[in-house]
Amino acid sequence: MSVPLLTWEVAKQRAEFIQEIRMFFYQRNVIEVETPLLSNGTVTDVHLDVFDTAYEHFPDTPIHEHRLLYLQTSPEFAMKRLLAHGYGSIFQICKAFRKEAYGAFHNPEFTMLEWYRVGFSYNELIAEVSDLLTTLLACEQPEIKSYQNAFLEATTIDPLQCSIEQLQRFLALRGVNDDWISQETEKDTLLQYVFSEYVETIIGKVVPCVIVDFPKTQAALACVSESDPRVAHRFECYFKGVELANGYEELTDPEEQLNRFHRDNETRKRLGKALKPIDNNLIEAMEKGLPKCSGIALGVDRLLMIALGKNTISEVITFNIERA
């Protein structure tokens, strides 16, 4: 269908909303940047699937041969390369791409806000995220809960100490007996499933909720806490049943980052998933020296959907994947 999903009135509201985001960062002297959407490297995250395309025109590529390029799931790697080469605090509003199921809260192509604060601690970034949310949503200050406490309150299970069998029993008692659950050997896969089904559904209903201190096995690109090595300095923001943002106090150790990438690919191999090329440009930049910093990725379409009281992100974008 040729008809846009976005009405003219909402289009104007969207433009004003994005301008308000830019003003928030301009007032804090955070500089806007642009980085490539196509890259030679991509994420190794087992739970993220990416779009790729063949490109045949590199000078060193033989005729009739091609190299795979990847549409970025976030501008994170490229922005960290900028930081490692002397940039200060930066932000970016761009398109991102994830090969996930299309639905009320996800379109394979979406708008992302990502920013990095040089010298900021985990808690300083959480405070700034809270300021942004209260500015854009006119809501109260977010509630902050640890991953462990939120999980315990919802399930009575301690996610930092439980076994795979405990999680399987919890699900079985609730009638969830899918074959994959009884066969699952990755504790984090079950933790993430239980979290999405039984924790996310009860947090952030009235005010935004920031979940902090994820298990270190879910650290991704975050550093591990020095005070409690069981957890990582990673946090996520939820509001009205929607995950809005994912942030870290960033890992700066290139060797540990490379090890995590390799572990991801080992898990991919074990699960029968395609291995992903490691972004060596990122590792090289980290070897040069990534400064102490904290960063976060936030879904702009989801945030605008909540700000305008809409039910799906299709109501705040021009054309979803069905009409693109």
Q: Hey, CA dihedral for 287, 290, 291, 293, is it positive or negative?
A: negative
- pLDDT reported for residue 171: 96
Q: Which H or E element spans position 9? A: helix 8-26
Phi, psi (deg, nearest 5) at residue 231:
-125, 160
Question: Which residues, other chains included, contact 169 with Cβ-Cβ below 8 Å and sequence gap of 6+?
Answer: none
* Domains of the chain, start order: 8-142+207-315 (3.30.930.10)
Higher pLDDT, 85 or 1: 85
pLDDT at 31: 99
User: What percentage of the chain reaches a pLDDT higher than 90?
Assistant: 93
Average pLDDT, the chain: 96
Band the pLDDT of 65: cuts 50, 70, 90. Answer: confident
Residue 61 confidence (pLDDT) above 90 = no
Cα–Cα dist 75/222, whole Å: 16
Other residues' Cβ atoms within 10 Å of the Cβ of residue 204: 22
- pTM score over 0.85: yes
Q: Which of 168, 166, 146 is nearest to 156 (CA)?
A: 166
CA–CA separation, 111 vs 176, rounded Å? 34
Q: What is the pLDDT of residues 252-274, one digit of tens each?
A: 999 999 999 999 999 999 989 99
Report the pLDDT averaged over residues 246-250: 98
